[in-house]
Structure 1
Amino acid sequence: MWTLELNRKVCIFIKSLNLMLNNLEKEIEKLESKEKQLIEVAKKLNSGKFYPLDLLSNAVINRSLKLIFGFTTLLKDDNFIAASHLVRCHLDNIIRFSASWLVDNPHDFATNVIDGIKIDSLKDKKGKLMKDWYLRDLLNEEYPWITNVYKQSSGYIHFSTKHIYCSINSVDSEKRTMQFSFSRKDNEINENLKIEALKCMGEITDILLEYLNGWYFTKENPYK
């Protein structure tokens, strides 16, 4: 009876593990499929008149594709600790690109950025310096998860408690011992955490696509 019960638990564990792996693969495919949408909007933006904001758009599209596929490549290689940094980088895409919609003249703004002037030294139409935290908080008003993801993903950028806990394999409070893990792979990372990060990358990409398609609509309909 004991053996049958053990076998049953093992089977349930394997089914649960397979389900999580399948979900992970589906989320990776879903994120990578956004490449087509980014390429399509890039083609549209570069098919007619060209403005300074188009140069910024091209740069953010190119960076996004590199980050997305860098992220999924690292996840497939079971290297979540390295992949997690890229969530914050991808979030930076929409935080800074969104500044183009907060100024009186987006093309003058784009020209300044192209010339190397830092965005956080430029002001929006309200006269506010466009610091990252300011742009982040404005985005958070429309997308209430932005600030939380910003803070959580920043914890992976800088050496922090996240890295300390990830190095601990197990803790025995009775024996007062810890077991540490040293590996290039992260087999101890919960699959749900990886799926959550993938969904964040997808949401960030969707917001970016909204901005890009909005800019394309404005180009095509300048008097509306």
Structure 2
Amino acid sequence: MAHPPQSEAVEALLLQVEADAERMREVMTEVVVPAGSPMFPLDFLAFAAAKRHASTTSAFGAMVRSWNMVIARALLRMHIDTSLRFSAAWHVADPHAFATSVLKGERIDKLKTRTGTRLTDSHLVQLHRDEHPWLPAVYKHLSGYVHFSGAHIADAIEGLGDADRTVQFLVSDQDLKFPEFSWVEVLDCFREATSILGTFLQGWGATKKLSDAQLEALRGGA
């Protein structure tokens, strides 16, 4: 089935999403792991997050351009998950031990913060809610798109007949009933999640450049 074009506003945001992905690649190659730099366990986790972001961005753009809101929202949820779980390294006692555990196959939600709290998705959302107040409500709503739920029932309903109490269902990969602002919202949230990930990747790149004395000072040891 042919896809109608998205609006100019939506297409402009899609181009920004793609530009964000290109800047993320530049952050990785110029800030996090420039040529000749030493590698640490957290670098492997950084590469994994950056790779997942690149793959998710490509699929997300394709879904928006094909008007597939159901999967676009599921991909947005995955993208937020990447950003939150990479940020978990900032809340543990030893980031490199944390990264090593993940590399060995341990589940992040089974690992704990430096204060002993499990790094569940809900806890990570709460850790970010002050800086990103939109996150708790959006994350909760999007969880219904990752797991088969009532959200998919609503998306399958094309219309309701008030007079004759009928329901019209549409089984299609296109979600044309969503207005422009719904697409803008999902794109804005995607860019916000990218910003979260980019902040932590750049933070890790900056941390690698610090001397042992500077790191100790940051930890409060000087």
TM-score relative to the length of structure 1 = 0.87
1:137 equivalent in alignment to 2:126 = yes
**How far did 1:194 drift?**
1.3
1:49 equivalent in alignment to 2:28 = no
Q: Deviations over 1:52-98 (max 9, x none)?
A: 00000000000011011100111111211122100110011111111
- Maintained 8 Å contact 1:71/1:83: yes
Question: Please, what is the CA RMSD of the aligned residues?
Answer: 1.7
Q: Which deviates more from structure 2 when the two are superposed, residues 77-86 or residues 195-204? A: 77-86
- Maintained 8 Å contact 1:168/1:181: yes
- Aligned letter for 1:24? V
Pick the aligned partner of 1:109 from 79, 87, 98: 98
**How far did 1:161 drift?**
2.6
- Maintained 8 Å contact 2:18/2:57: yes
The residue that corresponds to 2:18 in the other structure is 32
The residue that corresponds to 1:146 in the other structure is 135
SS in 2 for 1:188: coil
- Percent of aligned pairs with the same amino acid: 35
1:170 equivalent in alignment to 2:156 = no
**How far did 1:49 drift?**
1.3
- Maintained 8 Å contact 2:21/2:53: no
Q: What CA distance in whole angstroms lies between the structure 2 residues aligned with 1:180 and 1:121?
A: 41
Identify the structure with the greater helix proportion.
1
SS in 2 for 1:143: coil
- Maintained 8 Å contact 1:166/1:189: no
- Maintained 8 Å contact 2:33/2:205: no
After TM superposition, which residue ranges in structure 1, 4 or more long, deviate above 4 angstroms? none
Q: Which deviates more from structure 2 when the two are superposed, residues 62-71 or residues 166-175? A: 166-175
**How far did 1:143 drift?**
1.3
- Aligned letter for 1:168? I
Task: Describe how 1:177-192 pairs up with structure 2 within 5 A.
Answer: 177-192=166-181
Q: Which deviates more from structure 2 when the two are superposed, residues 114-123 or residues 145-154? A: 114-123
State how many pairs are aligned.
Answer: 207
**How far did 1:175 drift?**
2.1
Pick the aligned partner of 1:76 from 61, 65, 69: 65
Question: Structure 1, unaligned stretches of length 5 or more?
Answer: 1-17
**How far did 1:162 drift?**
2.1
The residue that corresponds to 1:6 in the other structure is none
Task: Describe how 1:197-216 pairs up with structure 2 within 5 A.
Answer: 197-216=186-205
Question: Structure 2, unaligned stretches of length 5 or more?
Answer: 215-222
**How far did 1:141 drift?**
2.7
- Maintained 8 Å contact 1:136/1:146: yes
TM-score relative to the length of structure 2 = 0.88
